[in-house]
Each structure stands twice: as C-alpha cells, then as structure tokens.
Amino acid sequence: MAGLSANTELLRKILVGFVQDEVHKVGVKKAVLGLSGGIDSALVAFIAAEALGAENVHAICMPYKTSNPESEAHARLVAQACGVDFTLVPITPMVDAYFGMFPDASNMRRGNKMARERMTILFDHSAHYSALVLGTSNKTELLLGYGTLYGDMASALNPIGDLYKTQIWQLSEAMGVPNEVIEKKPSADLWAGQTDEEELGFSYRQVDELLYRMVDLRLTREELISAGFGPEFIDTIYKKVQNSHFKRRLPVIAKVSNRTIDRDFRYSRDWGK
Amino acid sequence: MDFTAVLAQIKPKLGCVADNLALIEERIEQAKAAKADLVIFPELALTGYFLKDLVPEVARRLDSPEIARLLELSRGISIAVGFVEATDDYRFFNSALYLEDGVIKHLHRKVYLPTYGLFDEQRYLARGERFRAFDTKFGRMGLLICEDMWHLSSSYILAMDGAATLLCLSSSPGRGVEGESLASAASWQKLTATTALFLNCRVLYCNRVGYEDGVNFWGGSEYIAPSGESIIRARLLEEDSVSARLEEGALRRERIFSPMLRDENLFVTLQELRRIERERGL
C-alpha cells in the first residue's frame, strides 16, 4: 500500500527539523526520553540525537523487576549506537512500595502505575536537565488507545505520533536503529513473554492497513469491506478508536464564561515562539 | 523591462510582529545589497500563520508604524509582503501589499480563506472580494495569497486584467510523505507551472518555512517562466533566498510562440458565465 510506504529521507528531514525547531524555539537545548529497549523509543533517540546533538539527549531506562532483561540490554545498545547519554533508574522500589498497600491490584493497575511512575521520572529529569520530554507513542497505538493516559502518552513533543508502526519500522531501518531492536516482537514488557500483537489480537501490519484506509483515506465501512477487511475487525477497531478518544483530548472543562480554555480561548502552543 | 526578483523564504515567529519586522528588514537590506529590484515575502510574513485568537492583536492598520517603515524601505526596492490588516470597521484581513517608491501600489485581501482539514482561516478572518491587476515599474502584476491560487478563476481574472507577472505569497503546510517528493510541494509545483503555462504568465511563488505546533511549512519558493518551466527553486524546509532574473524578451517570445492568451475569448467566457448565473438564479 503506497500510503504506508514512507519516503524515509523526507520523513527524516521533517522529523529532525521538528525536534530541532520546537526544542530550540522555547529556549532549550536538550531533550530527555524514556528508552525501553523497543523500537519506538529507539527511533526517537536517533531522531533527537541527529536534531540536537547526541550530547544533548538524555535517555533514561526504567525497568521493573519483571521487565525482560533483554530490554535493558537493547536500550543500552541503542544509546551506544546513537551516542546519547544513558541513565538507569529502576522503578521496582517505588512501584512495590505503593502496591504493598494494595496487594490485590490487577495487572492493568500495575501496568498503568509503572507507566506513570516512569512519566514522573522523565518530567523530574526534564527539570533537572532543562530538557523537554520527548514522546514515543506512534499513531497506531495513539489511535487504538494502547497506552496509559498521563503515563507513556505524556510528553512535551512527539516526533513519531503521526507515523504508523509500519512506517516506524521503515524509518528505523533507514536511520540505523540496531537490527535486534527492529526485528523483535513489539512488547509493552509488563511481564516476560508479553507481546502487543498477542494482547491486541491482530498484527500491526493488519491494523495499520485498516487504520490508514479508515482514518487517512476516510473510506466508508462498505468500501473497507469490499477492500477485503472483515466487518467484525472493522467494527472492533472503530470502537477502539472511538472509546479511546478521551485519551487524545485535554480534560473536559465545564463552560460557564464567554472564553473557555480551548473552546473559545484559542491560541497555538507556539504562541510568541 | 527586465528585473531581478528575490524570494525571501523566511521563518516568521508566531505572533511576534516586531521580531518579524526586523527579519523582513534584514532580508530587504540583503536584497538591496544584491541589487535586486523586487523582494517578495510569504503570506503573513509579519505575523506567522496559526494565529487563531491572536488575529486582532497582531493586525495592523495601513497607517501603522510597521507599514510606514516598510513604505520607507520601498524607496530603494519594491516589496511584496503579507500581514494581517485591521480596518476602521474592525474587520481583519489576510492581506498582501505591493509597495514601490514609498507608495502602496496595491492591497490584496485574500479571497479564498481555507476552512477545511488543518485550516481554519474564515473563523478568524474576513474575506476579500476582488482580484485586480496593477501597474508597477516592472509591468502589470497580480497578487494572490496561497489558497487564492487553487481557484482557477483568480489567476484567470488577473491575466485577463493584464497581469503578466503573478505573485503568490504562501504559508503552505507540508504533508504527504508517501511519494518521491512531499505531496503538498508536488501539487503546488503542478499548479504554479500549469498556471504559468495556461496564461503565458510568470509566476513568482514565495512560501515560508519553520514549524508551528508541529506543522511544517515546506518552502520551495520558485520562479516559473511563462513557458511553465521552473527556473529556480529554493530549498525544501530550510530558510533560503533565491534570486531570479525576469526578462521581458522571454515573455515576448513565449507570447508569440504560444499565443493562447491572445486567443482567449473573454466574450464567450462572460456570456457563458452570465448564462450560468441566470440559470442558477444567483
């Protein structure tokens, strides 16, 4: 599908320029990001290193005791390959201290807590280094809502949020992300052996083909069915996008005045920049 | 008359009129030093693009100090520049000025304000209502602002009104990374080249660069000869400045070689448009 096959040279230029421009215009030189050992954060590290200079990028790896040890090894490998600064901040003590009070908490609560724990560490380092936090969520997971609100979805700038996973693979290859990282199965790494595709119930390639036609090309349900997508798959994905929309919006404000923030008080974030 | 035009591909700061004026002045001085006759800036060069509720704050009246300063600078070089215009009745227009020898030769108010996709201009801005060609030291010209050019009638009217040079001031966001080149750049290049070719006109297209809230502006400012041939094109996505020599001889030769404009039948066009107007009950 032409739409999912990106011109990586052009994409690289736009995204590197984006990080450079949007970081520098707020009077900052540095960026900080969480490096999980997965492909999305690896790609962001490569983009940031090229945009800001590797010495201005701080990557923080924040494993929990159940994280796959291979993830940390891959994170180190990525940091080495693109030359960014690497710090290890394990989150086991904080997370375990909290769940000591709630021993019956579900896996979902634990996963969300870990994601938010990591977020607080990144924003703390943002203040420490005078650096902006770079987001590492891709378009596929943002659309599906496969992320934690105020956790891994939180950032100041996200260079890859308009790239489907399929395009992440292409650009990562073009930018020299290590092969081990590109080739392994995507995982939220909450427990050993977990993979995104198993948890979601479909492959990224399948869902990207559908999302691209549904969201970008705005094909109707009938057109999607004639293009070969199963009605059940279409409806499941449509519902996922709809039900996770709250995660992509700011909190809802009850309107009482003439100028309510974001409704009739409208300014770009780059106001004055 | 032969003349040299500079396309100043700048990166304005959003909502910072003083900073942008300084940037514009700097580019004017550079163009003057290079002995150019005309310098062209992008749409909303004085203000930046995604202004939203900033529109009334950054809008300037024609008698404002900023416009007075630009008029003063136009004594050494002709200037085409985009800004937000405030009128006495408190309307705000996405406007462009052509300044020459300390005089406003022409004011164009953007007619087609896009309000679709990522655009929302008509929410904040008032709509212009005319396309008029105007005389300059370098012949008769027409001004267009970005979306104006996507309506065939705009360039057509200006050409019928005698414009041999079309200036298009633009803030075009880059999108579409599937193909060999940026999709929005490729569409614009087709559009400007085809317009020049159809109307045997020169097109001077000036687009900005930089990012606003993650949206990139792709640059690629360009001079297209009346043959439709791209003569010079500025860099993609980077600040730049390119200079083009526009020769009267090339225009003359093209109009002899492909006299479509001479053969254009304004009478038939008007007759049919009037019929359509009648039939639609406008």
Is B140 part of a structural domain of the chain?
Answer: yes
Partner B contacted by A7 (CB < 8 A) = yes
The range of the structural domain enclosing residue B181 comes to 3-255
According to DSSP, the β-strands at B139-145 and B165-170 are parallel
Q: What percent of chain B has pLDDT over 90?
A: 98
- Per-residue pLDDT for A230 more than 90? yes
Distance CA A250, CA A149 (A): 11
A203 within 8 A of A195, measured Cβ to Cβ? no
- Give the mean pLDDT of B143-158: 98
Q: Phi, psi at residue B178, to the nearest 5°? A: -80, -35
- Give the mean pLDDT of B103-122: 97
> Would the CB atoms of B180 and A7 count as touching at under 8 Å?
yes
Q: What is the CATH number of the domain that holds A32?
A: 3.40.50.620
Distance CA A13, CA A54 (A): 17
**Binding site: what residues of A are annotated?**
34-41, 116, 136, 141, 165, 187
Chain B residues near residue A6 by CB distance under 8 angstroms = 177-178
Is A217 part of a structural domain of the chain?
Answer: no
Is A218 part of a structural domain of the chain?
Answer: no
Looking at residue B99, the DSSP 8-state letter turns out to be E
Is A239 part of a structural domain of the chain?
Answer: no
Comparing CB atoms, the residue among B16, B213, B236 nearest residue A272 is: B16
Is A269 part of a structural domain of the chain?
Answer: no
- Per-residue pLDDT for B246 more than 60? yes
Across all residues in chain B, what is the average pLDDT?
A: 97
Residue for token pair 């010495």:
A55
Confidence grade of residue A193 (pLDDT, cut at 50, 70, 90) = confident
- The vertex-B184 CA angle with A10 and B4, nearest 5°, equals 95
Looking at residue B234, the DSSP 8-state letter turns out to be P
Confidence grade of residue A1 (pLDDT, cut at 50, 70, 90) = very low
> Would the CB atoms of A14 and B214 count as touching at under 8 Å?
no
> Would the CB atoms of A14 and B178 count as touching at under 8 Å?
no
Please state the pTM of the whole predicted model. 0.95
Confidence grade of residue B65 (pLDDT, cut at 50, 70, 90) = very high
Looking at residue B37, the DSSP 8-state letter turns out to be S
Cβ neighbours of A104 (radius 10 Å): 6
The range of the structural domain enclosing residue A60 comes to 8-192
Beta strands in chain A (DSSP E): 30-34, 57-61, 85-88, 131-133
Domain total of chain B: 1
Q: What is the CATH number of the domain that holds B187?
A: 3.60.110.10
B214 within 8 A of A18, measured Cβ to Cβ? yes
pLDDT at A194: 84
Q: What percent of chain A has pLDDT over 70?
A: 99
Distance CA A104, CA A102 (A): 6
Is B179 part of a structural domain of the chain?
Answer: yes
Is A2 part of a structural domain of the chain?
Answer: no
pLDDT, tens digit, 9 for 90 and up, residues A238-264? 999 999 999 999 999 999 999 999 999
Burial track A157-167 (b if 16+ CB lie within 10 A, e otherwise): bbbbbbbbbbb
Interface mutation vs chain A, best among B177, B209, B213, most A CBs within 10 Å: B177
- Per-residue pLDDT for A2 more than 70? no
Distance CA B185, CA B193 (A): 12
Comparing CB atoms, the residue among B16, B177, B214 nearest residue A18 is: B214
Window B:190-219, CB contacts with A under 8 Å: 210-214, 216
- Give the mean pLDDT of B213-239: 97
Is B196 part of a structural domain of the chain?
Answer: yes
Dihedral of the alpha carbons of A143, A148, A153, A155, in degrees to the nearest 10: 170
> Would the CB atoms of A6 and B51 count as touching at under 8 Å?
no
Window A:144-163, CB contacts with B under 8 Å: 157
Cβ neighbours of B18 (radius 10 Å): 10
Q: Of B232, B143, B236, which Cα lies nearest the Cα of B184?
A: B236
Is A116 part of a structural domain of the chain?
Answer: yes
pLDDT, tens digit, 9 for 90 and up, residues A89-138? 999 999 999 999 999 999 999 999 999 999 999 999 999 999 999 999 99
Q: What percent of chain A has pLDDT over 90?
A: 93
Domain total of chain A: 1
Q: Phi, psi at residue A112, to the nearest 5°? A: -65, -40
Walk across the sheet containing B38-40 and list its strands: B103-109, B92-100, B78-86, B38-40, B3-9, B240-246
- Give the mean pLDDT of A159-185: 97
Residues sharing a CB contact under 8 Å with residue A130, sequence separation 6 or more, in sequence order: A28, A29, A30
CA distances from B71 to B9, B55, B75, B104 (A): 20, 22, 7, 7
Distance CA B139, CA B182 (A): 34
Partner A contacted by B220 (CB < 8 A) = no
pLDDT at A189: 86
pLDDT at A190: 78
Chain A and chain B share a number of CB contacts under 8 A equal to 61
Distance CA A115, CA A94 (A): 12
Is A273 part of a structural domain of the chain?
Answer: no
Report the complex ipTM. Answer: 0.93
Residue for token pair 């404009």:
B261
- Give the mean pLDDT of B159-188: 96
> Would the CB atoms of A270 and B213 count as touching at under 8 Å?
yes
Chain A residues near residue B179 by CB distance under 8 angstroms = 2, 7
Residues sharing a CB contact under 8 Å with residue B104, sequence separation 6 or more, in sequence order: B62, B71, B97, B98
pLDDT at A191: 74
Partner A contacted by B175 (CB < 8 A) = no
B83 within 8 A of B60, measured Cβ to Cβ? yes
Residue in chain A nearest B120 by alpha carbon: A266
Partner A contacted by B236 (CB < 8 A) = yes
